[in-house]
Amino acid sequence: MTETADTRARAYTVLSSREPAEALVEIKRSEFIGHVLRVETEREARDYIELLRKRYHDARHVCSAFVVGADREIQRSSDDGEPAGTAGIPMLQALLSHRTGPSEAGQTDLSDICAVVVRYFGGIKLGAGGLVRAYTEATVEALGAARLVSRRRMRHGAIEVPHSEAGRLENELRQANISVLGTEYTSRKAVLSIAVPDQEDRLSRAEAQVAATSSGSLDISWKETGWVDL
């Protein structure tokens, strides 16, 4: 995955699950089986495409498209023998244009995703326009079967706290909309791991919240930045 320091984006949208989502579309006896999978690298995308080629070895076409990176800098598509521009590019456009929020105001920031549409030919030619619609629909239907989450660039932090105060502090941080990633208990103390949007005002607000919650006895030790699913 692209490192946070090399990206312009502060957030983008990904599939919530590492499991594939699928959908079947039937058009004039042809079956178009859409698949989408969350991936983190181009290599993972190509491995998934190859896996489906083997699984559907008797299919007429296994077309694909994928988008990788917070800035969506890696974009690839393949028509796999269909007429040029009738499969892979429409699938890629379906990924790039997919709205990830309410239809009127939703972002089009979906990334780290590979789409594969397998076609079993039914004996009736669809024409270029029909193929574009079929591959687009199969991709969109597979996306509709998946759940999406926001992935944000966050600053990680650690808070050392007495065992007896860990539960209360965690609850108050969550109520303040500060992401608590987990708590590690040692023999002497508990360490809460948190994540805050990597912006000065948000970091200052988190520090103030911890100070207010602990009457000034606790502070945050800031760590590196990283991507966190929210």
What is the total count of domains within the chain?
A: 2
- Tell me which of 82, 111, 146 is where a domain ends: 146
Same domain, 185 and 100: no
The pLDDT of residue 8: 79
Query: Which domain covers residue 189, as residue numbers?
Result: 150-229
pLDDT of amino acid 230: 84
Residues of the chain with pLDDT under 70: 1-6, 102-106
In this prediction, residue 4 carries a pLDDT of 47
- Report the alpha-carbon distance of residue 157 to residue 220 in Å, rounded: 6
Q: What is the pLDDT of residue 107?
A: 86
What pLDDT does residue 100 have? 87
Q: What is the pLDDT of residue 191?
A: 96
Verify that 40 and 140 share a domain, yes or no: yes
Domain boundary among the residues 123, 146, 169 is at: 146
What Å distances lie between residue 197 and 28, 38, 72, 120, CA to CA?
A: 49, 23, 20, 46
5 in any annotated domain = no
Cβ atoms of 109 and 71 within 8 Å: the answer is no
Q: What are the helix (H) ranges across the chain?
A: 42-55, 88-97, 127-144, 163-175, 200-213
Residues 213 and 136 in one domain: no
